[in-house]
Structure 1
């Protein structure tokens, strides 16, 4: 406990140093920069702006509330990372969920690691750190890879080295961006897996992609079923033409989805075939949200 108190006191001391106009650190070569850069500093939340390069485009409100509750009880355990913009002005590099949740709680300060970087370095740090540490969905990861290639001008080989992933893995993610936006949204919302998407991307015509996507959802096709459907389509067997006839789910699924969704306070999808065989899908955005849903299901 004494160790934690000492660290917090040190953070407050460094914060005071940063608020001194005579110690306005702008580069790693400035006086006292070694005391600040890379260390944990308690920063005023009002002095921090969000990162325009943040790859995560949506934040689950309920998951944020749960994180806020944890922060209210335990504080911010993992510091955010910021870069210094100007005197007592900072920009997020990573940790936007913690930052948003801390604002919900009403914290005035937040522990942060400080880095000094230009916009390109900040973008690269934000994208790479989020790919490695955050629970991004496959489409967000694909978009992050694409931005690293386009905006940082990395080759796939260099990108592979930078993020520690095989080039084939990166290629598989980026191919998902060839899917129709409706299907990309379906993957992001958890209605089907990346494996389904990897199969669908082999269909070039977007209308036929959507037709088979509707069949996947309506008939609960597995990844293997989807691969067979795509193969049949490519062989000219018109596998997607029966979609409208077969895609309508039994009436009970809509009511069940609504009732379970209300009970679990989550987006629940119940899919079933005409004979009643089906599955229940409950996407979650964090381990905290998973544990909450689990407790409601098993009654812990």
Structure 2
């Protein structure tokens, strides 16, 4: 108990230090910055603004009330993290549920870690920490990954290192963003799981995606049922799809030569028994006749 009291007293002492306008800490090089950055400080809730980079866009009111009751009983066990904006002004990096719950029960202060960072660093910290610590739905996680890639300019490999996830896991989340927005909303509302979403990604046609989505909701289909339905939709006859045969250099070189000569992208389809097709597309009757003359060796 004495240890906890000492920590709280330290937090209050640092709070007083931050209230001194003559010693305003703006960078890690300023006097007393080492006493503040990385330590737990009691900050007034009214001096903290929410983070516009917060990936979570909706909060379950029941869960928030339960957290508020827990905080009322036990206090804020996990400090929030904030970024210093200016004198006595801070912005949330992570911990918005704790912040909201504390306001809900009328607390005036909250324990916080203070970081001095630019907007890009703040965005990265907010997204990475929320991905790791918050119970985000699959679409929110996917959006967070996409923002890290787009706005922090990370590759999937770099992102994998930052968040401690396999690259394949990250790729699976990102693929969910290709689903129809209605299906994405269904995932966010908990009507279907990530497994359902991963199965639906294999359907290219949006209307078909939505048809299967409705069946999932109406008949409460499992992920396995959904996978089977997708498989049947992609191959309605039940026939096995012929295995793709890789073309040898002879075929690929000839395909390029044909394409250059005919002015059309020619394709070659080859089966396992060595038989195949040479496919030459045309855009009109005139184009067909032009290609015919070239093949016959006549003058155009």
- Scaled to the shorter chain, the TM-score interval is 0.7 to 0.9
Partner of 2:8: 8
**More contact order relative to length (CA 8 Å, sep ≥ 6):** 1
Partner of 2:54: 54
* Partner-residue secondary structure (3-state), 1:90: strand
In structure 1, list runs of 5 or more residues that go unmatched.
239-300
Kindly report which structure 2 residues correspond to 1:1-300, keeping only aligned pairs within 5 A, or say none.
1-236=1-236
How far is the alpha carbon of 1:236 from its aligned partner?
Answer: 3.8
How far is the alpha carbon of 1:223 from its aligned partner?
Answer: 1.2
Deviations 1:172-209 (A, max 9, x none): 00101111111111111211111110000111111110
What is the CA–CA distance in structure 2 between the aligned matches of 1:193 and 1:236, rounded to whole Å? Answer: 25
* Partner-residue secondary structure (3-state), 1:41: strand
TM-score, normalised via structure 2 length: 0.78
What is the CA–CA distance in structure 1 between the aligned matches of 2:231 and 2:73, rounded to whole Å? Answer: 54
What is the CA–CA distance in structure 1 between the aligned matches of 2:45 and 2:224, rounded to whole Å? Answer: 49
In structure 2, list runs of 5 or more residues that go unmatched.
239-300
How far is the alpha carbon of 1:237 from its aligned partner?
Answer: 5.3
What is the CA–CA distance in structure 1 between the aligned matches of 2:184 and 2:196, rounded to whole Å? Answer: 11
What is the CA–CA distance in structure 1 between the aligned matches of 2:48 and 2:198, rounded to whole Å? Answer: 39
Deviations 1:99-137 (A, max 9, x none): 000001111110000000000000000000011111111
TM-score, normalised via structure 1 length: 0.78
* Partner-residue secondary structure (3-state), 1:130: helix
What is the CA–CA distance in structure 1 between the aligned matches of 2:220 and 2:112, rounded to whole Å? Answer: 45
What is the CA–CA distance in structure 1 between the aligned matches of 2:65 and 2:163, rounded to whole Å? Answer: 30
Q: Which has the larger radius of gyration?
A: 2
Deviations 1:238-297 (A, max 9, x none): 9xxxxxxxxxxxxxxxxxxxxxxxxxxxxxxxxxxxxxxxxxxxxxxxxxxxxxxxxxxx
